[in-house]
Amino acid sequence: MQTSTAIQTWIDQQLTNNPPRAKSLVMTVFGDAIAPHGGTIWLGSLISLMSHFGINDRLVRTSVFRLAEEGWLEARRDGRRSTYQLATASYARFQHAYKRVYVPQTGKWDHYWTLVIMSGDDTSTGNKASLKKELLWEGFRMINAGVFAHPQADTAALQNVLGRNGFAGLCTVCRTSDLNLPNARPLPSLIASHWQLDEVNIAYKNFIEAFSPLIKLVQGQNLPEHAAFVIRSLLIHSFRRTQLHDPNLPSSLRPEGWLGDEAYRLCRDLYRACFRPAENLLSQVLDPEHRQDSGLSLQERFGGLF
């Protein structure tokens, strides 16, 4: 099936004006397309998939080699052929990262804050730097020396972050609420000074401007499989990178004109439009030996794909 001129023009412009880094896009394809079907792919099949983005085999080989070095992927040899799969050690982090993409923010809040308090002699500086980086990724912000706060923390993810960085049993973690004393600074006032929400909102605005023209082009259309796969992958790649910086605050603490919910709905609608033809392409490329039933998790993305 031929791709419409308008859709192909959009794809070409996106790849030209906002070219994704090969290594990062490979990770997106693994997380969105390969992981739900068993998480393993022949290198040659991956090269075939990435060719739809104009990424050559040399860049694919370099990307997976570096991802394996960094502990995200594992390589296996079968004669002269190689397969790559998600590394066991990184699988939980991978799943958590993509859950943030596919599950909408609830916005509900019980008005309690989670505090993580580090003491000065817990562990090495290197571990502290790693912990701080992951806490920031989880939406926490340092409100005082060694004190991180979040109004709506994912406690299971926090537990994993502390353990992974060698801080199990070394940080104080508590939940607290505002006493609303008349002479005290209210906790919600911390948002403006510690969370850079304007930058996140601009990123959501840019995402909406880039992808909203596609809605009229793809809805109700029989999309070619390769075009659907490219759009779906670029969509998730862009939304994931934007959402990565969203601290996932309760709706009552978000600024007026917040665009995160609109961006999520746009991503959901485009994903649903591209899902079936993209899956058809994957069924042809992924080896039946490695392909597994995706179960309900794939169908439940974005609140249900059908």
Residue 163 falls within a domain, yes or no? yes
Residue 56 falls within a domain, yes or no? no
Helix, strand and coil in the chain, % to nearest 5: 55, 10, 30
Mean pLDDT of 240-252: 91
Mean pLDDT of 272-281: 94
As a whole-number percent, the residues of the chain with pLDDT over 90 amount to: 60
Phi, psi values for residue 180, rounded to 5°: 55, 40
Would you state the pLDDT for residue 116? 95
The string of pLDDT tens digits covering residues 104-132 is 877 678 899 999 998 766 545 558 888 99
Q: How far, in Å, CA of 21 to CA of 240, rounded?
A: 14
Would you state the pLDDT for residue 181? 87
Would you state the pLDDT for residue 15? 95
Residue 130 falls within a domain, yes or no? yes
Within 10 A of 230 (CB to CB), how many other CB atoms are there?
25
Q: How far, in Å, CA of 111 to CA of 121, rounded?
A: 31
Task: Write down the H helix ranges in 55-195.
Answer: 57-69, 91-102, 125-137, 155-164, 190-194
- Contact, 198 vs 255, CB < 8 A? yes
Would you state the pLDDT for residue 164? 86
Residue 125 falls within a domain, yes or no? yes
Residue 127 falls within a domain, yes or no? yes
Q: How far, in Å, CA of 152 to CA of 155, rounded?
A: 9
**Residue 151's domain spans which residues?**
112-177
Residue 153 falls within a domain, yes or no? yes
Would you state the pLDDT for residue 125? 55
Would you state the pLDDT for residue 168? 85
Would you state the pLDDT for residue 2? 55
CATH number where 117 lies: 3.30.70.240
- Please report the sign of the dihedral spanned by the C-alpha atoms of residue 208, residue 104, residue 22, residue 135: positive
Would you state the pLDDT for residue 291? 66
Would you state the pLDDT for residue 90? 81
Would you state the pLDDT for residue 305? 72
Residue 88 falls within a domain, yes or no? no
The string of pLDDT tens digits covering residues 3-50 is 688 999 999 999 999 899 999 999 999 999 998 888 899 999 999 999
Residue 157 falls within a domain, yes or no? yes
Tell which residue, 227, 306, 240, has the closest CA to residue 274.
227
How many domains is the chain built from?
A: 1
